[in-house]
């Protein structure tokens, strides 16, 4: 059974479910930073997914990247599957700006994480969920805090 890694759970806010992947917003507010986690057990590399799941992950990644470009109007999208510290397969999507804290380098280990304010977090989740709902996002029941009702 798929079970979200504890560190990913601790470091993110759940946004909802796409067909294959759980969508997570990183708690670090330095950058718009969204993570896809395919709901498949014991996967650490993209190539381990079967052909149908690979295609779904690609589609969801491209959809998410396009939504992030539309919402956040960044200079560049950075996408990565690293997993040296959290082996569970997960794909980072970052909106990057020439004015951000790590530009032009990658974001990892650059500056300390900062929190979203409560208001900014609520707005970001609302807007993101509305945009991804047009691409099939639904609430995730496995992760506390995903549904609107549970947040209130």
Binding residues for a copy of itself, rule: CB under 8 A, are 44-47, 54-55, 58, 61-63, 65-66, 69, 75-85, 87, 96, 103-106, 108-109
Determine the Cα–Cα distance for residues 38 and 35; give it in Å rounded to an integer.
10
If the CB atoms of residues 14 and 107 are measured against a copy of itself, the closer one turns out to be: 107
Q: How far is the CB of 7 from a copy of itself (least distance, A)?
A: 12
If the CB atoms of residues 2 and 108 are measured against a copy of itself, the closer one turns out to be: 108
Q: How far is the CB of 140 from a copy of itself (least distance, A)?
A: 24
If the CB atoms of residues 26 and 63 are measured against a copy of itself, the closer one turns out to be: 63
The continuous run of DSSP H or E covering 26 comes out as strand 21-26
Determine the Cα–Cα distance for residues 100 and 116; give it in Å rounded to an integer.
15
CB 90 within 8 A of CB 45: no
Residue 39, CA atoms < 13 Å, CB-side half-sphere: 15
């Amino acid at each position: 059974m798929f079970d979200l890694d504890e560190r990913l759970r601790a470091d993110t806010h759940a946004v909802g479910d796409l067909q294959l992947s759980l969508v997570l917003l990183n708690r670090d507010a330095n950058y718009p930073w969204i993570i896809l986690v395919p709901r498949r057990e014991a996967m650490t590399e993209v190539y381990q997914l079967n052909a149908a799941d690979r295609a779904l992950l690609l589609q969801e990644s491209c959809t998410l990247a396009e939504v992030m470009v539309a919402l956040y109007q960044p200079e560049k999208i950075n996408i990565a599957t690293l997993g040296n510290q959290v082996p569970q397969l997960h794909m980072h999507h970052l909106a990057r700006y020439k004015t951000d804290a790590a530009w032009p380098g990658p974001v990892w280990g650059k500056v300390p994480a900062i929190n979203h304010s409560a208001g900014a977090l609520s707005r970001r989740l609302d807007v993101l969920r509305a945009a991804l709902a047009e691409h099939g996002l639904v609430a995730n029941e496995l992760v506390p805090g995903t549904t609107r009702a549970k947040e209130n």
